Structure 1
């Protein structure tokens, strides 16, 4: 691996369990004495005016416009990558209030592992900035009911109310093939019994 700490992506669709998995991975690494930084791509959303410019129900808008990738790169992945100055910011946007955040930079320890959880992390513009990528896989028939229980969406993947999200993620699959690109592929259909399907 390049000098410095590895940058690890935890990718997967809405409701697959990315945040929980990332937290468990962080706990496991800390128990082994490693420093860990956790960042969520959900803190790097674009403003609503950008996210919804193609329409509030647009799958293309969900896939193309949800996240501020230049900010994720400049504020997290580049400074914590090889040759970076280790000065990073954990968040730039609050999606609930649509507020831009002026968070203060932090300095990461040189040996800390970075774990980023979020959607679409195998996009072309991000691929070169991970030392390890994980994709949590489960069918929409499993993940959409989980999302429904968490956020109050309809539990049917075919319901029009979730078409933006399911459709956008299918566009991602077609464009980036994250299940094939991931270094580690995990079947996360059963949260209590994840199964590793592929690893380095």
Structure 2
């Protein structure tokens, strides 16, 4: 990790609120697919721990996908289907957000779905200690039913021209975001941007087009 990136991530880590009493703190890392959410969230979790916040739980919304039958019920190429049907938000709330929320049980499940086998999972409950910091990465984390859940939220701002290039290197997809094979995903995310303006809803907007030199663009007052 570059020294510049380390400084920026530590600045974000220092903005994670202290828990109230035995309560927990919920942190979101949002951004387009390929913006670097998972890596940023991993580094943020490590930075929070390094600051003396000993218990951090990492969860990815990608582990709460709907089954293929639900994800593609509007068609395999449908942008609206990608925006509306990708994730099981009810299960995510029940297994993650509610347990870590105010007055929550702290009894949670970190996963609910296996992509490789298209199988719904029901793993044993885990119990987080009081004061746990929950760090979640995922698409669409500032949509209406989720935006109020976060004690701190970050949006990684990266143009689709760059995210498509990264996804091509990672997944073998087409590097042109305007290619027809990318329409479901890129247009689906544009619909999210138009409907929810996550760049404005996030507490911190970070330009992450250069992963070695991310830049804090805007920070809302605490």
TM-score, scaled relative to structure 2: 0.88
Please give the root-mean-square deviation of Cα atoms over the aligned residues, in Å: 1.0
> Could you tell me which of 21, 26, 34 is aligned with 1:15?
34
Q: Counterpart in 2 of 1:51?
A: 71
Match of 2:59 in 1: 39
User: In the aligned structure 2, how far is the partner of 1:103 from the partner of 1:94?
Assistant: 11
User: Does structure 1 residue 30 correspond to structure 2 residue 49?
Assistant: yes
Residue 134, structure 1, aligned to residue 142, structure 2: no
- Are 1:185 and 2:197 matched, yes or no? no
> 1:89-143 deviations in whole A, cap 9, x for unaligned?
0001012221111211100111110000000000100112111110000100111
CA distance in 2, matches of 1:90, 1:194: 28
Once residues 127 and 16 of structure 1 are traced to their aligned partners in structure 2, the CA distance between those partners, rounded to angstroms, is: 19
Query: 4+ residue runs of structure 1 moved beyond 6 angstroms?
Result: none
Residue deviations 1:67-102 (CA, integer Å, cap 9, x gap): 000011010001111000100000010122211112
3-state SS in 2 of match to 1:116? strand
Q: CA offsets, 1:50-72, max 9 Å, x none? A: 00000000000000000000011
> How far apart, in 1, do the equivalents of 2:105 and 2:192 lie?
32
Q: Deviations over 1:12-48 (max 9, x none)?
A: 0000000000000011111122110000000000000
Deviation (angstroms), 1:147: 0.5
| Consecutive unaligned residues in structure 1, runs of 5 or more | none
Gap runs ≥5 in structure 2: 1-16
Aligned residues: 200
1:61-140 equivalences under 5 Å are 61-140=81-160
